[in-house]
Amino acid sequence: MIKNIVDYLEITQQRFGDKTAYLDAESSVTFTQLKEDARQIAAGLLKDVPKGAPVLVCMEKCVGSIEAFLGVAYTGAFYVPIDIKMPYERIKLIMDTLSAKVLLTRRNDEIPDEIRQTCKILCIEDLMEASYENRDAEIEKRQRASIDADPAYAIFTSGSTGVPKGVVVSHRSVINFTEWWCETFEFDENEVFANQTPFYFDASVKDIYATLRCGATMHIVPKKLFSLPKQLVHFLNEKEITCIDWVPSALCMIVNFHTLEKETPAHLKKVMFLGEVMPTKQFNMWRRALPDVKYANLYGPTEATGDCTYYKIEREFADDEPIPIGYACNNTEVLLLDGDRLVTEEGETGEICVRGCSLAYGYFRNPEKTQEVFVENPLQKDYHERIYRTGDLAKYNAYGELVFLSRKDSQIKHMGHRIELGEIETALGAVDGIKRACCFYDHKKQKIVSVFEGDTNQEEVIAHLKNRLPVYMIPNQFIKVEEMPVNLNGKIDRVLLKETYLQ
């Protein structure tokens, strides 16, 4: 019985040991080598990392990252992927939240001195070269003690108060999702994935563990290719990619610049999109160019592990018709709630709430935020049951399919990233000279707009934000005002600001 993600590796290694599992631009690894490397990393961690402890993994996206994730899983600890390009101040916030004792990296990756002083830094190459007494016996001890309810990873998402929130996900949730994902989309050892999403984004969990579960192959696509459509399609052909599961902006770039008219990805059989709304016009361009490919729209927050709804696109859609997010995944139920009332009528708006074993445990050391969104199921009066309130609004269409409408709060999706505007506002508020600031999202132009009042300028504000926020959270436009408009309650009049800007 599978109770830990490394059980997938153990089983697959026996069936497909010599087969290539993961590849990046510089290296590749077979399932047998992957098992050996992950066990070496685990052995090197055992004395510093107790069962159930967090281990940071901070390195350029590579095959070694996956070896590190699995090495951590062998110890019964859980991994926390960190973007190595993230500003130090944000990494520090995450480290303070976790009180992590160990950070895994590679020799050539640069870790700031400030981080080196706060926890033990271990290089995976050193761990893989070392020799350990009773390595496998010690690992088996940890594995015998592990259960499927143990956390597998924590992924940090934007937090509205300025502090990122660590979503803690169990092995059981990952395994439940992976089983459904592989069965529903008929993955087997012949599948070749092209991974796009960063490893600190939970969508990457899908490619990584489907590969491990099925004995498939996963290529890590060099990031710069996602700005070069011709080279990207050429990569898909060269590597004989059969399945992609990408954010819509990457797919839009390919068709917007007529790439498929010059070269088509001949091996591609499955195209899925996630993370933000796929424009139907661009989807139709894909379908016209590659009519035999199977397409699916996937939806799900990090708190519900991978996806919680899916929609296999089989009927035609007009360019201005939204593509549904469809139906709930296995062992997941989606409740559309208006307050505590279940919405069932076509066209009526409700909040997407999720129940089932895909739910995360909540946010690491953040009971307040956890209690805000992981709440009692209002429809279950007889016993305690948790549901997750996503904050996403949806409706049922005439076919009984779920259709995403919008957010009910100030969370946005920008460049495929989930962002709380409050986190940007908190960072703006910390800039010397800024008295008041607020942000809003221009959905039409897909821009984050910030408005600030104070004695500073755009250059100084950007310089400050670069030290605190990832690049994708830095506003695209800065507007300095003499005085921030306020409403009768003395709060910033966001509606007026946005209306003024849009005019």
Partner 1 sequence: MQEKIMEILQSVRPDIDFAKEQALIDDGLLESFDVIQIMTTFMDEFDVYIDADDIEPENLNSFDAICAFLTQKIGS
β-bridge partners, 55 = 79, 102
Q: Name the segment binding partner 1 (CB under 8 A); options: 97-105, 212-220, 465-473, 491-499.
A: 465-473
Residue 230 interacts with partner 1 (CB under 8 A)? yes
What does 233-248 look like in DSSP terms, one character per residue?
HHHHHHTT--EEEE-H
Binding residue for partner 1, selected from 86, 252, 394, 449, defined by CB under 8 A: 252
Residue placing its CB nearer to partner 1 in the complex, 386 or 480: 480
Q: Name the segment binding partner 1 (CB under 8 A); options: 18-26, 106-114, 149-157, 472-480.
A: 472-480
Alpha helices (H) in 190-268, listed in sequence order: 204-214, 229-238, 248-256
Q: Taking the complex as a whole, how short is the minimal distance between the CB of residue 442 and partner 1, in angstroms?
A: 11
- Closest alpha carbon to 175 in 2, 333, 22: 2
Q: Taking the complex as a whole, how short is the minimal distance between the CB of residue 102 and partner 1, in angstroms?
A: 28
Q: How many binding residues for partner 1 (CB under 8 A)?
A: 33
Q: E strands within 176-329? A: 192-195, 217-220, 243-246, 270-273, 294-299, 309-312, 327-328
* Contact pattern from residue 122 through residue 151 relative to partner 1, giving x for each residue in contact according to CB under 8 A and a dash for the rest: ------------------------------
Residue 466 interacts with partner 1 (CB under 8 A)? yes
**At residue 115, what is the residue type?**
I
Binding residue for partner 1, selected from 465, 484, 492, 497, defined by CB under 8 A: 465
Residue 229 interacts with partner 1 (CB under 8 A)? yes
Q: Kindly state the helix (H) or strand (E) to which residue 411 belongs, with its residue range.
A: strand 411-414
Distance CA 469, CA 359 (A): 28
Residue 253 interacts with partner 1 (CB under 8 A)? yes
Residues 34, 67: contact at Cβ < 8 Å? yes
Q: Name the segment binding partner 1 (CB under 8 A); options: 42-50, 123-131, 136-144, 225-233.
A: 225-233
Gyration radius of the chain over CA positions: 23
Residues 104, 111: contact at Cβ < 8 Å? no
Binding residue for partner 1, selected from 12, 143, 158, 249, defined by CB under 8 A: 249
Binding residue for partner 1, selected from 289, 379, 430, 474, defined by CB under 8 A: 474
Give just the sign of the alpha carbon dihedral 147, 153, 158, 164. Answer: positive
Q: Taking the complex as a whole, how short is the minimal distance between the CB of residue 233 and partner 1, in angstroms?
A: 8
> Which residues bind to partner 1, rule: CB under 8 A?
223-224, 226-231, 233, 249-250, 252-254, 256-259, 262, 415-416, 446, 458, 462, 465-466, 471-472, 474-478
